Chain A
Amino acid sequence: MTALASHAAAPTGARSRLRRLADSERFLAWALLAPAVVFIVALVGFPFVLALLYSVTNVTVGTQSASFVGLAKFRQAMESPAFWGAVRNTFLFTLVSQALVIVLAGTLARLLMMEFRGKWFVRLLILLPWVAPISLGSIGWLWIFDSIYSVINWTLRHIGIFGPETWPIWLGQPTLAMASIITVHVWRMLPLAAIIMLAGFSGIPKDIHDAAAIDGAGFWRRELQIILPLVLPIVLVAVLFGIVFTATDMIVIFIITRGGPFDSTQVLASLAYYTGIDGGDLAEGAAISLFLFPLLVAIAYLMLRLARRTEVT
């Protein structure tokens, strides 16, 4: 055994050292983790620390120096009505779109569990919104909601639901604008949630379904007492991702409504951008963007704890 090992290590010193390194778990662990660590520190950690620093100063886009002002920028943000509107909109946007996503993704995942012809094609179609660049998809939606060329209006009028005088301006009326961005966001989040939930549903062994059928469970009993508790941990993970993605997202809003009309679709993320970058008040922008952070941390903590508690295997 020893003879064999020393023989294998014989050829060159450098190569054998490399091979030994590749066998060392401590080295490998760090080598494989390093890119991710660098990536997170540079693109998430650094900006986050910067935002923390900015939020307690009076830095603006044009200035070279900044001085410490304590929590003044937070106070300033909280005194503006636009801020509270954005808080309200963020909650509305997040809660409504997540509720829709979970219900629709659950339904979709159940449909995808069934066997039918052309299933691969349907799966592909469903993944498309997730794979395609979000800006591209949003621009498509921009046309769909266009005030003059809206396909929705055209279709609804042609099938006779709208009279010739009805002409909803999807992105121009506050309620419709919020409904529009929620629609786009649900369309965008649906694939990921559906795939996560599909994994949850397929994770339930066939024997469990069979046992429930033999034990005499009807549709509702099977859904509510067997399937739902078993997929709950995974659904919670999907909800957690959804909430964090939705509450911190501004791409859809940035492209489709720019927060308008009258700030009716302004959320905290977009307000922070408009205040900090467009408005030049970096410090207040940072303060606004940090507002949701403790809340999201609390939500993430709660969800992960809940998911662990309901874990069943």
Chain B
Amino acid sequence: MATVETRKISKFYTHEQAAVDGIDLFIPEGEFIVFLGPSGCGKTTLLRMIAGLEHPTAGDVLIDDRVVTALAPRDRNIAMVFQSYALYPHMSVFDNIAFPLRARQFAKAEIPGKVRWAAEMFGIARFLERKPRELSGGERQRVALARALVREPQVFLLDEPLSNLDAKLRTSARDELQQFQRRIGTTTIYVTHDQVEAMGLGDRVVVLSQGKVRQVGKPLEVYDEPADTFVAGFLGSPPMNLIDRGSAILGFRPEHFLPIEARETGNDAVRFTFRVTRVEYLGADRLVYGMLEGGAGEAKVLSRLPSTVPLPVQLGERHEFVIGRRDLKFFDRQTGLRTAPIPL
């Protein structure tokens, strides 16, 4: 177990465009941290620099307070699971899992026991003689995890390890992954573009965009109190409504935008006139599309209503909708950063 730290770490592939742009992070011992961002945001490059697979243009990586920037990956005592799993196709499952041990000159007698332990941890002990091509996607992913676990590294690096699994398997794999991490308590860095994975797995989430950290926080903090319009627009499905209100941008989550009947009105609620243009049924929820009217002109917004809440309005009609005052977020028009509330 170890802490991981990056200090002003940057990676430039060309002179103008930074893949990673001066990121400072501190990851305490045993934390499960998720790097979340759209593709091309630099999350994988950041992970690969921590692994030692890419050399930073500037800045340092520290593992357990020791600068490891110049060290080769094998000298960092880390393990990594790749999106493609990167199993050695010509080796049996046993040899795949044993490979890191043999590479580290473990005593021969010790290896079978350790391999068995790691394989049993992921329920793949009965596949040890098979080749990777004879396994299903889920089984391969477990082999990759067992190979990472077997030498008990200080840090786990996981690069979108679930994205090649089908949706059903992904949910159970997510659950298992988190339980496993809790049990062994190894510091884990997990890279994904999937916000559901990020919210569900992470102790903390690092939201990245264009090589910069936009926000670091617990999943709920990042969701409820986005630091800027990027985070507000990236998290949530559908994301936060962002509307232009003169000097500021007003943001609110679709699930907080409800018909007046559905909410206790007090003086903490703000009323809006909403013209409904379309309703989309999603089973447990409905998405109500429409225009916000009055004040500073019209704006397209969305409301997300649980199907247990009746929709008291027909298509094309206007209705009063309300938002709790503390569910309204304000962002600076220029910088996109959060600002103090303005009177509406």
| Alpha-carbon distance between A234 and B85 when the two chains are bound, in angstroms | 23
Interface size on A, residues (CB 8 A): 20
| Alpha-carbon distance between A229 and B104 when the two chains are bound, in angstroms | 20
CB of A208 within 8 A of CB of B78, answer no
Point out which of A208, A216, A226, A230 has the most chain B C-beta atoms below 10 A from its C-beta.
Answer: A216
CB of B51 within 8 A of CB of A217, answer no
Contact of A230 among B48, B53, B89, B103 (CB under 8 A): B89
Interfacial residues of chain A within 168-225, with CB under 8 A of chain B in the complex: 205, 207-208, 210-218, 221, 225
Residue in A closest to B72 when the chains form the complex, CB atoms: A213
What residues of A have a CB within 8 angstroms of the CB of B84 in the complex?
Answer: 205, 207
A313 near B: Cβ within 8 Å?
Answer: yes
What residues of B have a CB within 8 angstroms of the CB of A221 in the complex?
Answer: 102-103
Interfacial residues of chain A within 221-275, with CB under 8 A of chain B in the complex: 221, 225-226, 229-230
| Alpha-carbon distance between A211 and B133 when the two chains are bound, in angstroms | 17
What residues of A have a CB within 8 angstroms of the CB of B122 in the complex?
Answer: none
Point out which of A208, A214, A217 has the most chain B C-beta atoms below 10 A from its C-beta.
Answer: A214
A147 near B: Cβ within 8 Å?
Answer: no
A114 near B: Cβ within 8 Å?
Answer: no
| Alpha-carbon distance between A207 and B86 when the two chains are bound, in angstroms | 5
| Alpha-carbon distance between A195 and B53 when the two chains are bound, in angstroms | 27
What residues of A have a CB within 8 angstroms of the CB of B51 in the complex?
Answer: 210, 214
Contact A210-B53, Cβ < 8 Å, known A215-B74, A215-B100: yes
What residues of B have a CB within 8 angstroms of the CB of A211 in the complex?
Answer: 80, 82, 86-88
| Alpha-carbon distance between A214 and B99 when the two chains are bound, in angstroms | 11
Contact of B103 among A208, A210, A216, A310 (CB under 8 A): A216
| Alpha-carbon distance between A213 and B75 when the two chains are bound, in angstroms | 10
A312 near B: Cβ within 8 Å?
Answer: yes
Interface size on B, residues (CB 8 A): 26
What residues of B have a CB within 8 angstroms of the CB of A205 in the complex?
Answer: 84, 86
Residue in A closest to B159 when the chains form the complex, CB atoms: A207
Contact of B90 among A212, A213, A229 (CB under 8 A): A229
Contact A214-B90, Cβ < 8 Å, known A221-B103, A313-B133: no
In the assembled complex, the CB of A234 is this many whole angstroms from the nearest CB of chain B, namely: 13
Point out which of A215, A218, A312, A313 has the most chain B C-beta atoms below 10 A from its C-beta.
Answer: A215
Is chain A's binding surface mostly helix, strand, loop or mixed? helix
CB of B86 within 8 A of CB of A216, answer no
| Alpha-carbon distance between A310 and B91 when the two chains are bound, in angstroms | 11
In the assembled complex, the CB of A186 is this many whole angstroms from the nearest CB of chain B, namely: 29
B41 near A: Cβ within 8 Å?
Answer: no
CB of B104 within 8 A of CB of A216, answer yes
B198 near A: Cβ within 8 Å?
Answer: no
Contact A312-B74, Cβ < 8 Å, known A214-B80, A216-B100: no
In the assembled complex, the CB of A216 is this many whole angstroms from the nearest CB of chain B, namely: 4
In the assembled complex, the CB of B132 is this many whole angstroms from the nearest CB of chain A, namely: 9
6 nearest A-B residue pairs (beta carbon): A207-B86, A216-B74, A211-B86, A216-B103, A215-B100, A312-B89
Q: Which residues of A contact B (CB under 8 A)?
A: 205, 207-208, 210-218, 221, 225-226, 229-230, 310, 312-313
With A212-B99, A213-B74, A214-B79 known, 9 other A-B pairs at CB within 8 A are A207-B83, A208-B86, A211-B80, A211-B88, A213-B52, A214-B53, A215-B100, A218-B103, A226-B88
23 contacts between A and B (CB under 8 A): A207-B84, A207-B85, A208-B86, A210-B48, A210-B80, A211-B82, A211-B87, A213-B53, A214-B52, A214-B53, A214-B74, A214-B78, A214-B80, A215-B74, A215-B79, A215-B99, A215-B103, A215-B147, A216-B100, A216-B103, A216-B104, A217-B103, A312-B133
